[in-house]
């Protein structure tokens, strides 16, 4: 994929989310928004170096897709990046934003914001082994750090590595005293500081993330930065991915054509021996707010979980929505 095409795709992206942005989820999201850049779940360097590489890295039907790595040792990140080259990811992203204590103990995620030079070394090592762009996702700071230190953080990484894409979650992470869940909501958002990063570093590609819940909000942010990344909102309200077409100057897809493509995907997955629920669990919010949505969710939640569940369960769930519309 060309650098220009990848930059265009970054205008709207879906954040890496553990247990949510699985390969199955990304195939669905690709149908809902053909233009967006998608991200894998975070994969640790240890899982790639010592684990089942195919299990963690194999993907299809989701391009362009970025691989997010978790690690804090330059040599291990370099090795994992080298291994990932054969799996056709469009980008490799370093996680410097996750506040989980499970990753902190391994010097992964947001705790690395305290060591910008180490992060720069990690990025340089990854870049040496990668044929695709290496990017970073980070917070505004951690714990007692002044948020404005993020300016020096970005300057250090840009000066000491060739990283030119910064995905900024517009709030701090409190590693002491807040759970990962609380860290998604309690620290206040500071969008203006992310805008300032773009003003100070116009040569960098700045993507904003955190607390963005609609395409209307995304449009406002795009007046100040290069791209917008949605996380939970895009997952819980899949129709936002349909609306994201407007960010690329495209018409919102017709729902009937989208549903037809989803059915083809599900039938193919079932034919390959996959479980229906591995896909439908990512579609529970597709009709949120519409008549029949509750029954749609109930059918998929209860009946798609069976190992024997076939495409008829999906069709039954759809009928719960569309039969109501015809009444």
Domains belonging to the chain, first-starting first, are: 3-248 (3.20.20.70), 255-326 (no CATH)
DSSP string, 209-245: ESS--SHHHHHHHTTTSSEEEE-HHHHH-THHHHHGG
User: Sorting pLDDT into bands at 50, 70 and 90, what band is 326?
Assistant: very low
Contact 113, 139 (CB under 8 A): yes
| Closest of 193, 25, 226, 187 to residue 97, by C-alpha | 187
**Per the omega criterion (within 30 degrees of 0), is the bond before 64 cis?**
yes
Q: What is the pLDDT of residues 75-99, one digit of tens each?
A: 999 999 999 999 999 999 999 999 8
Average confidence (pLDDT) over 240-251: 98
Task: Tell me: pLDDT of 14 over 80.
Answer: yes
pLDDT at 101: 63
Q: Which of 1, 3, 41 is nearest to 164 (CA)?
A: 3
Q: Which residues pair with 67 in a beta bridge?
A: 92
- Region 251-263: mean pLDDT is 97
Q: Determine the Cα–Cα distance for residues 264 and 194; give it in Å rounded to an integer.
A: 41
> CA nearest 94: which of 108, 83, 82?
108
Q: How does residue 323 score in pLDDT terms, banded at 50, 70 and 90? A: confident
List active site positions. Answer: 98
The residue-averaged pLDDT of 247-254 equals 97
């Amino acid at each position: 994929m060309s650098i220009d095409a990848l930059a265009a795709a970054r205008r709207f992206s879906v954040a890496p989310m553990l247990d949510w942005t699985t390969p199955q989820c990304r195939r669905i999201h690709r149908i809902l928004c053909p233009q967006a850049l998608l991200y894998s779940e975070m994969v640790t360097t240890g899982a790639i170096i010592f684990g089942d590489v195919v299990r963690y890295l194999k993907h299809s039907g989701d391009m362009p897709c970025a691989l997010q790595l978790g690690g804090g040792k330059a040599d291990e990140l370099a090795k994992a990046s080298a291994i990932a080259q054969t799996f056709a990811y469009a980008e490799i992203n370093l996680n410097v934003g996750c506040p989980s204590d499970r990753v902190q103990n391994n010097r992964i995620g947001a705790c690395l914001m305290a060591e910008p030079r180490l992060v720069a070394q990690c990025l340089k090592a990854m870049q040496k082994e990668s044929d695709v762009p290496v990017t970073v996702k980070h917070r505004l700071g951690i714990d007692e750090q002044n948020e404005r230190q993020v300016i020096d953080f970005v300057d250090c990484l840009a000066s000491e590595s060739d990283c030119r894409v910064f995905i900024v979650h517009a709030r701090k992470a409190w590693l002491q005293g807040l759970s990962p869940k609380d860290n998604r909501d309690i620290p206040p958002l500071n969008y203006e500081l992310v805008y300032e990063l773009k003003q100070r570093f116009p040569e960098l590609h700045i993507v904003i993330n955190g607390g963005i819940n609609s395409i209307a909000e995304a449009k406002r942010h795009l007046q100040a930065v290069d791209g917008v990344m949605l996380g939970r909102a895009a997952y819980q309200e899949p129709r936002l991915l349909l609306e994201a077409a407007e960010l690329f100057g495209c018409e919102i897809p017709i729902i009937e054509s989208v549903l037809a493509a989803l059915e083809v995907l599900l039938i193919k997955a079932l034919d390959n021996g996959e479980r229906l629920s591995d896909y439908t669990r990512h579609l529970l919010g597709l009709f949120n707010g519409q008549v029949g949505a509750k029954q749609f969710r109930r059918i998929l939640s209860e009946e798609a979980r069976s190992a024997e569940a076939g495409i008829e369960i999906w069709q039954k769930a759809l009928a719960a929505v569309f039969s109501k519309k015809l009444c």
